[in-house]
Amino acid sequence: MTKPGTTGLIFNEPELWEKSREGRCGISMPRSDVPRADLDPALIDEAPELPQLSELDVVRHFTRLSQWNFCIDSGMYPLGSCTMKYNPKTNEVQAARKGFVVAHPLAGDEFSQGALKLMYELEQLLGEITGFPAVTLQPAAGAHGELAGMLMIHAWHAKQGKQRSKILIPDTAHGTNPASATLCGYKSVNIKSGPKGILDPQTVAEAMDEDTAGIMITNPNTLGLFEENIQEVCDIVHAKGGLVYGDGANMNAVMGIIKPGELGIDVLHLNLHKTFSTPHGGGGPGSGPVAVVQDLVPFLPVPRIQKENGTYSFITDCPDTIGRMHTFYGHFGVLVRAFAYILTMGGEGLKRASQLAVLNANYIKESLKTTLDLPYDRPCMHECVFTDKGVQKHHISTMDMAKRLLDYGFHPPTVYFPLVVDAAFMVEPTETESKDDIDQFIEAVKAIVKEAASNPDKLHSAPNLPKVTRLDEVGAARKPCLKG
């Protein structure tokens, strides 16, 4: 099979100002149809020093920059914990519809019924998928959703009349969890996962006390394993008066298979930009809706959306609310994509997506477990974690293998995360890769492991094909150069 990575013509591109020529402008200006009205000269300064470019200059500039990047539309991007799956283009088309794009957030309820209906129904759909009675769409992304959820847990404890000081966080939780808890004033207590890579209820029982507000559990966890004891853990935490926060960033593995709200989770955030079809390369925007159990509904952020006699409106009169988490109503364009994705997939389609995500990860795990070290040899969910233990004797590291994968035409997997495994090599193929492409990836990893023994320098010097070869990451961290 031909490996996708090869050499090719890559264009250099100067900064915009280098291409600037006096008098050029890349847009056609609307013709003026009203009299000119000069401002007081005292209020006017020189025009900003923006570059002066033709339309073609601009098109080439940004097209060339885009070609320096690896993207899901050009190759497999098995970045564990990030869910870099293919997002159907139809969802981009729906989000770009004029009625949504030009909707103004200050237009008022009566002029925004379509947008409000979409948001109201998306809340219902996400509630159905997760098993919770209510959802807020406000948080801007996953960690922001965590903060919203933890603020609600904090507010709930305050309402009970006694605030607590600690929160339990397993070593297999997402790294943002302790930060979100700390922002709410809680002290994080680290809980070690058991020998099977999942939580041992006994460990939770020993740590849980009446000064502990609850636990934050990522499920499936960052080892890609399902927390099989989740219901028992929830019972232990509830028995001591605590609440359970579920990090649903990995929901793409269990859609239609479990409902976290039925397992004992009290609050759960989702990453629409991972699971529900929003491209999240380039930094967003994301969206981190939060679902809650009935007891926490009064604490949801405002404004909330209500439906009365077929009319949708915002309500803000919620005395126990934690307040507003975002200007306006969240990242609306992402909500449109998620809504379109859920409707086009349907319940069965979402379940099938999760099943294929899990099947693909297990196929890779089984195919590579005699090639790479597999610390937890048990069925995984949507991602599998290897290490560099088997190639260390050739002085080859996880980083060397990851860099060499670029020469083969694959984006490297996540490396050195989760921290619970030394030198992790974490692969998440997602449901959207075909068996052919996954087989190519597997063959590439096998070839690289062979090279580790026969020609280790090829790995040490990798990558050789991308525009930029191995970067001095230590130098970049210690002496960052923040300008061109």
CB nearer another protein, residue 23 or residue 480: 23
SS3 412: coil
SS3 154: helix
CB nearer another protein, residue 195 or residue 484: 484
Query: For residues 125 and 135, what is the distance between their CA atoms, to the nearest angstrom?
Result: 9
Closest distance of CB 306 from another protein, Å? 17
Residue 416 tokens read as 């050195």
Question: 1, 9, 106, 468: which one contacts another protein (CB under 8 A)?
Answer: 106
CB nearer another protein, residue 26 or residue 185: 26
Yes or no: say if 383 and 427 are a contact pair by the CB < 8 Å rule.
yes
- 331 part of the interface to another protein, by CB under 8 A: no
One-letter amino acid of 68: W
The residue range among 46-54, 297-305, 449-457, 474-482 that interacts with another protein, by the rule CB under 8 A, is: 46-54
Question: 1, 9, 43, 482: which one contacts another protein (CB under 8 A)?
Answer: 43
Query: For residues 123 and 134, what is the distance between their CA atoms, to the nearest angstrom?
Result: 7
Yes or no: say if 406 and 412 are a contact pair by the CB < 8 Å rule.
yes
Closest distance of CB 100 from another protein, Å? 15
Strands (E) located in 171-266: 187-191, 212-218, 243-248
Closest distance of CB 141 from another protein, Å? 17
The residue range among 48-56, 71-79, 355-363, 441-449 that interacts with another protein, by the rule CB under 8 A, is: 48-56
Closest distance of CB 57 from another protein, Å? 8
Helices (H), 31-141: 55-67, 89-95, 98-101, 113-130
Closest distance of CB 36 from another protein, Å? 6
One-letter amino acid of 234: C
- State the binding string over 205-224 for another protein (x if CB under 8 A, else -): --------------------
Question: 13, 58, 117, 194: which one contacts another protein (CB under 8 A)?
Answer: 58
Question: 96, 101, 107, 476: which one contacts another protein (CB under 8 A)?
Answer: 107
Backbone dihedral angles phi then psi of residue 356, each to the nearest 5 degrees: -70, -35
The residue range among 101-109, 149-157, 332-340, 441-449 that interacts with another protein, by the rule CB under 8 A, is: 101-109
One-letter amino acid of 5: G
Query: For residues 168 and 191, what is the distance between their CA atoms, to the nearest angstrom?
Result: 7
Question: 8, 30, 310, 319: which one contacts another protein (CB under 8 A)?
Answer: 30
Q: SS3 string of 86-112?
A: CCCHHHHHHHCCHHHHCCCCCCCHHHC
The residue range among 32-40, 169-177, 341-349, 471-479 that interacts with another protein, by the rule CB under 8 A, is: 32-40
Closest distance of CB 32 from another protein, Å? 6
Residue 326 tokens read as 């975002």
Residue 201 has a CB neighbour count (10 Å cut-off) of 17
- State the binding string over 273-292 for another protein (x if CB under 8 A, else -): ---------x----------
Question: 27, 477, 481, 482: which one contacts another protein (CB under 8 A)?
Answer: 27
Residue 461 has, within 13 A of its CA and on its CB side, a CA count of: 7
- 25 part of the interface to another protein, by CB under 8 A: yes
- 313 part of the interface to another protein, by CB under 8 A: no
- 53 part of the interface to another protein, by CB under 8 A: yes
Query: For residues 278 and 142, what is the distance between their CA atoms, to the nearest angstrom?
Result: 13
Closest distance of CB 52 from another protein, Å? 4
Contacts (Cβ under 8 Å, ≥6 apart) of 209? 240
Nearest by Cα to 145 from 8, 273, 3: 273
Q: How many residues bind another protein (CB under 8 A)?
A: 36
Closest distance of CB 116 from another protein, Å? 15
Question: 7, 9, 49, 308: which one contacts another protein (CB under 8 A)?
Answer: 49
Query: For residues 259 and 21, what is the distance between their CA atoms, to the nearest angstrom?
Result: 59
- 48 part of the interface to another protein, by CB under 8 A: yes
- 104 part of the interface to another protein, by CB under 8 A: yes
Residue 462 tokens read as 């990798």
Closest distance of CB 276 from another protein, Å? 21
Query: For residues 301 and 373, what is the distance between their CA atoms, to the nearest angstrom?
Result: 45
Which positions touch another protein (CB under 8 A)? Answer: 16, 20, 23-27, 29-30, 32-37, 39-40, 43, 47-53, 55, 58, 61-62, 104, 106-108, 110-111, 282
